[in-house]
A and B are shown apart, each in its own frame.
Chain A
Amino acid sequence: MLRYLVRRLLGSIPVLLVASFITFWLVRRAVDPLAKFRHDRDSARVLAEQRKALGLDHPVIVQWWNWLTHFVRGDLGTSTRTRDPVSGMIQHALWPTLQLMFWATIVSVVVALLLGTYSAVKQYSAGDYAVTGLSYLGLAMPDFWFALIAIAVLVTLPTVWFHLNQPILYSVGLHSPGDSGLNLDYFRHLALPVLTLTFGAVASWSRFHRASMLEVLNADYVRTARAKGVPGHQVITRHVLRNALIPFTTVTALDTAFLVSGVIITERIFSIAGMGQGFLSALGAGDAPFLLAWFVIGAVAVIGMNLLADVGYVALDPRIRLS
């Protein structure tokens, strides 16, 4: 297993290199790092200085290599927006985002498995139709719209109707001002952003899981197990669910990395100072160093989750051997 992991990690390096170069090239094309100096009072001198300082007088491939060699040593550059080291900004922003991702993934996986299993086992029942309907709603509804509706319905309305001094659930940040830690206040803040991230993921994953379950439910060995008199719940948990989890693991592992796209909108609406907010601020200000770091971290996350999916196969299916 260790050898396999090392080999996969080494194999990821060329992928990361190519991804980082494409990202670097695209960001360079999209963002002019000198834009904010162009109407400086002493712009000719400042532009010359900055061009040299930023290495823009070199070909793109050289610029990328210089950036990369600094990046791998932990020097992510300096934000052109705040003039803070990007590494510090990323550290600061990563923690709230990881919290959101962690809770959203846990909740999504659990709920999607429950709903998907129920829908498959009770195929064509009223419950199945209800779950299917909700899933389509979840797939169709954009994150930002769902978030605003959720705030209006779950935060504002109860507060106004019941004349509460404070809402039951909050919609601003991860803590009340001056508060911190893993406490009730935290979970009252966390509920809606996690719900927003979860809604779309559950819709997609539960449909996928339902389809996987149905496929396994109709397999010969399941029929055999039933014919042999294995109790129904054992058939589901030991035979069907375990086999259906293999494709589910792949999808969830890959989609978790893509939850980041939902995080961008969710963090903005719920005023959470994470990677998503950082991305939007950097994009608006043309902050190339931050954008580059953000994209590379995204690429690492996708590759990491891929690896995790592969490892997950082995745990779920003893027939699969990592070689």
Chain B
Amino acid sequence: MFGALVMLTALSLTLAACGSKTSTTGAGAEPTTAVAAVPNGGTLVVGAEQEPDCLDWLGQCAGSVWGTWIAQIETQPMAFRSVVDGNDIKWEPGAVLAGEPKFVAAPVETITYNINPAAVWSDGVAITCADFQYTAAQQQSGPDIYDRTGYVDIDKVSCPTPKTVVVTYKSGKTFAGWQALFSSGVGILPSHLLKGKDRDKLMKDGYTWSGGPWFAKWNKGQNITLTPNPNYWGAKPHLDKVVFQFETDTSAEFEAFKSGQVDAIYPQPQLDVVDAITQGLPDAHSEYQSKTASVESLYFNLSKFPFNSKAVRQAVGYSIDRDAIVNKLFGPLGVTKAVNSLNPFVVKDYSDPNAWAGYHLDLSKVSSLMTADGWTKGSDGIWVKNGQRAAFTVVTTADNQRRVLTEEVMQPELKAAGFDMTIKNTSADNLFGVMLPGGDYQATIYTASLTGITPGLCSVFCTENIPGPANDNSGQNWSWASIPAADTQMRIVDTSLDDSARRAAGAKADDILADNNAALPLDPLPDILIWSNKVVGPISDNPVEGMFWNIDQWGVKQ
């Protein structure tokens, strides 16, 4: 769940404004444009920075968050949606359900869903329990599944009536994040169209059915076009058509927006984007905020020299001015402070937001920590212990200007503190596919991003998730961290059905990880929304579901 992504999403506290009008505050701020008069009809063209590799949402090829944002949530029924509620983001039952499911914790975890009687697929066939059964079966044992989390311990999915679903977990097994079932990244699939057939083949290049307000047509290499689903049981979209035009070059995307070729964009928080916003965008609205689902951090390989030493990791934490990095990257947007938790804002209730606050530039602290650990300064100013210099290599994705700049800012700071840092970047494929899973690195920078609002760091820091034979090398603890005290707390977050216990454990886990400096959180990446004056409706950010989470409520001035 808390997977490493080559980022697209991000965060922020400060909500400054550029353009003719602007903004708000808070994660998933309140709508910024008057909701009242949204006209019907018209076409909206939106710039999309990434084209998905496939539309089989369950499959391993569907890792693109843009795919979820622009096609999945528009066409697939979801048991729960991540919705913005004032300054918070929370799970809310999707339109496919008749209300909040009934959750029973004991003697075994059981969830009973009542399906909305009006809910139908686009061909008019009712959405029923059979669809939940089919989806769960695919997630449990179907071929080519991206992430089976939460489904493997399900004992059965039974159907007392066609519109009632009962999910029962195996005895002794619990899934604290049960709202994620049949929700983000998975949804509900039409059994009557897919059962007994090759799901991947029928979906990966696009599909003609829908269980949401839109149909999605994928014109490969060009766009994904949404048109209204006339059989959708809820409120119908205002627009006749939405075209998500693929534009992978951010600078060109901005020019396309400025020249009116696209009406809205949701760009990555890269340096040129910040420049463009600060220069001003005429006849446009923009909004940016850092209360998102992502945190960019400096990760250490705890099994490799010199980061197998807690003192070295702590000393590195005191060698870097994290606020200065953030200020350099996002200062023009008013985002100037580093994050102090590895948990992103959207799960702040399960974290200690100040866990890393003690780590700031303090060279005397570096000296005392290193000296106490048996290091001495060499003639070149670099720490030495048993003949080994405190030298290490940082690797990140070569094509990401923001991360490369972060490295370049860190390098002289670390040198001044007595660490010889080398930069050696690579492709995202090599970093995430080979180096990190194989433990073939010393330190790295990447963004961890939540695809739902399920908290927990166990998948990326618990001992049992270190890649190895026990987990078929599938573990994502690429830090090779093994901190028993933190493990205990992180497991509680993942498994306890007592929410207050989970919150307390999440905060404790953050504190333990901070004391060990298992990783150093850096950037609160802002989400950036930009749209032209012709777009109207309740436009606002949803840190999990993206800018287009409610695009059925948008319209364009004719």
A and B together in one complex: yes
Q: Which residue of B lies closest to A278 (CB)?
A: B221
Q: Which of B220, B225, B255, B433 is close to A35, meaning CB atoms less than 8 Å apart?
A: B433
With contact pairs A39-B474, A165-B260 given, residues A156 and B255 touching in the complex (Cβ less than 8 Å): yes
Verify if B498 is at the interface (C-beta below 8 Å from A). Answer: no
Encode contact with B along A131-160: 1 for CB under 8 Å, 0 otherwise.
000000000000000011001100110011
Within 8 A of A (CB), among B12-57: 43, 45, 51, 53-54
With contact pairs A42-B474, A273-B221 given, residues A284 and B259 touching in the complex (Cβ less than 8 Å): no
Q: Which of A31, A148, A268 is close to B255, meaning CB atoms less than 8 Å apart?
A: A148
Chain B nearest Cβ from A78, distance in angstroms: 12
CB <8 Å contact, A164 and B221:
no
Verify if A299 is at the interface (C-beta below 8 Å from B). Answer: no
Q: Provide the residues of chain A in CB contact with B282, threshold 8 Å.
A: 160
CB <8 Å contact, A39 and B221:
no
Chain B nearest Cβ from A151, distance in angstroms: 4
Verify if A285 is at the interface (C-beta below 8 Å from B). Answer: yes
Within 8 A of B (CB), among A162-215: 164-167, 170-173, 177-178
Verify if B60 is at the interface (C-beta below 8 Å from A). Answer: yes
A167 to B255, CA, bound (A): 11
Chain A nearest Cβ from B477, distance in angstroms: 11
A171 to B251, CA, bound (A): 11
Within 8 A of A (CB), among B234-250: 243, 245-249
A173 to B222, CA, bound (A): 7
Q: Provide the residues of chain A in CB contact with B54, threshold 8 Å.
A: 82-83
Verify if B262 is at the interface (C-beta below 8 Å from A). Answer: yes
Chain B nearest Cβ from A11, distance in angstroms: 36
A178 to B222, CA, bound (A): 11
Verify if A38 is at the interface (C-beta below 8 Å from B). Answer: yes
Chain B nearest Cβ from A187, distance in angstroms: 16
Verify if B261 is at the interface (C-beta below 8 Å from A). Answer: yes
With contact pairs A44-B473, A171-B261, A268-B249 given, residues A39 and B467 touching in the complex (Cβ less than 8 Å): yes
Q: Provide the residues of chain A in CB contact with B428, threshold 8 Å.
A: 284
Verify if B148 is at the interface (C-beta below 8 Å from A). Answer: yes
With contact pairs A93-B221, A155-B255 given, residues A177 and B249 touching in the complex (Cβ less than 8 Å): no
- A interface residues with partner B (beta carbon < 8 Å): 31-32, 35-36, 38-45, 81-84, 92-93, 96, 147-148, 151-152, 155-156, 159-160, 164-167, 170-173, 177-178, 268-271, 273-274, 277, 281, 283-286
- B interface residues with partner A (beta carbon < 8 Å): 43, 45, 51, 53-54, 60-61, 148, 200, 204-205, 220-223, 225, 243, 245-249, 251-252, 255-256, 258-262, 282, 399, 427-430, 433-434, 437-438, 467, 469, 471-476
Report 10 cross-chain contacts, Cβ distance below 8 Å, ordered by A residue: A36-B60, A38-B433, A83-B200, A159-B260, A165-B260, A166-B260, A171-B256, A172-B247, A271-B248, A277-B221
